[in-house]
Structure 1
Amino acid sequence: TLATGGIPPPADLPAADPPVFALALAARNRNDEVKLSGALHKIVEEDPSLAFEARGETHELLIKGQGEMHLKVAVDKLAGRYNVAVETVAPRVAYRETIQAGAQQHARYKRQTGGHGQFADIKIEIKPLPRGSGFRFVDRIVGGVVPRNFIPAVEMGVLDYLKEGPLGQPVVDLEVTLFDGQYHSVDSSEMSFKMAARIAMSEAMPKCKPVLLEPILKVTVFGPSESTPRLQRLISGRRGQLLGYDARPGWPGWDEVSALMPEAEIADMIVEIRSVTQGVGSFRPEFDHLQELVGRTADRIVEETKKRAAA
């Protein structure tokens, strides 16, 4: 029931809004993990406004719906109907990191045991790339100082390191050039060159001024026009950058407010949106870009990542 003065949605409603509230799930009993996946499939079949996702970036299983109570009902159903008890937490944000400066690095991997040893010697150069460029590996070896069959192992070692950089996040938007090295005709191997690459990266990356990147979403918030000022304040209070607002096409008396917002700020935003729109507001997010994050918020995220890794 709407409060006096509320403007209801049009009777001819479009397709249901996509899920806007998510929780990360973990089975309390590890033996129930396979059963959990099957139960989620059945729950989503029964209620198409629910969705679930295995997010590889954060190694989490997410359930998504229209709000906190919607997901509470689904979680209760998992336990009551399918006998799968779960723990729920807020989903983690898939942060990235990049570099702000370049560096050159020499690294040698040498081990001597009984029989053949291990030997690899490389020199690399690291450079930052424009946002969105991803990763680029450049081979500038001349004269066979590093044999061709070992060069892919160097790239593999670099990529292995980039899964988790100095700040604990996957590293993006950089170029790594292999420009010199040495090998031993007996002791060199793919493994030794892969190890040398990891050593070079671990020693060079802290010199490259690593910085955290957070995902920024393009968000469109929908609500009755009378609630637009409150929605704008809500967005600004969550580190959002307002882009403007306009009448919502086909919805008389409604507006849509556009903004850029950090993903970290929208996890429970639907609760507040509904609070200021008499329960009828909604929003739609989509990924826009990665943006540098510095200061206390970045420091807190780095510390939390370290604690999680040490647990």
Structure 2
Amino acid sequence: MKALKWISDHLLLFVFIIGIFSLFYPGLGSSLEWIVSPVLAIMVLNVSMTINTEDLKRIKKYPLLIVWGVFLQFVPMAIFAALIGKLFSQWGDISTGQLLLGSLPADVSAPLMVYLAGGSTAIGTAMLVIAMALTPFVLPNVLAWFGGVNFKIPVSYLIIELALIIILPVVLGIFINYKSVKVKEKEQIWSGIASLCYIILLFVVVSSNAKSIISLKQFALLILLAEIALNLFGFSLAYLTKTFTKQNDVFLPLLSLVSTKEFGIASAAVETMKLNTTLVIPSAFYAVVQMISSPIMAKIAKKHFSHTEN
């Protein structure tokens, strides 16, 4: 238990170490892509085991905030991504890939960051589930409106991810929390296991994209800066909500939900439609950026907002 708590408390340290190691020694991690889905499901399950019935009741008090969070994930982020894409107008597929990235819903790992920041995991999970459920309907329209792009959504991939990686683990985790007192008492264990899952995912994601990142050489720096800009824009959008949301635990879910992107959808779409894999480059870079920036922001938010509440 102490070891898992230590991992959770020092997640940022592990992120830097594993991130650097994976970038320069990608061999092992790049062969483990098959474990991503089950590890994600385990992570979601463990985070959901920290949600109790009182947390669920609070969701009903903030319907407008949840709708606002879903809106921010899709529309403003897509517009800003389209503007960034203008930088790559000479490289059409990368420009389109940038818009695709900005139009994606939040990453499945976002509720873990919400928990680590001290926010309402229940509200964050609600935003994620709704956004994922709306993606087959919203994503093609956003791409058409802001980029004139006709895109076939990988519906089967989304249904499987929503059902097996999100909804089933969430329902099971909440049910276990409701039925077992011991589960409630050992909350730090579940967050520790979820943090360990995040480290594994970081190892695989960075390793799998290391060759693409390094092969682009100087051009990689431009793409990296573009993705950092999009990521910071997401954090800024979320922070603006602080002006009309007084409760920190209600505001904090937006930091993780708006700034992260479920990059796996881009890969699934490209594979489904047999498109140029260049479209996935922005998503690959963003995956690395968000998996490093999210724990940093969670650490800062935990320290800053817990201090302001005291």
TM range (shorter): under 0.3
Q: TM-score, normalised by structure 2?
A: 0.22
Q: TM-score, normalised by structure 1?
A: 0.22
Which structure: larger Rg?
1
Q: Which structure is richer in relative contact order (CA contacts within 8 A, separation 6 or more)?
A: 2
Q: Give the strand-richer structure, 1 or 2.
A: 1
Q: Give the helix-richer structure, 1 or 2.
A: 2
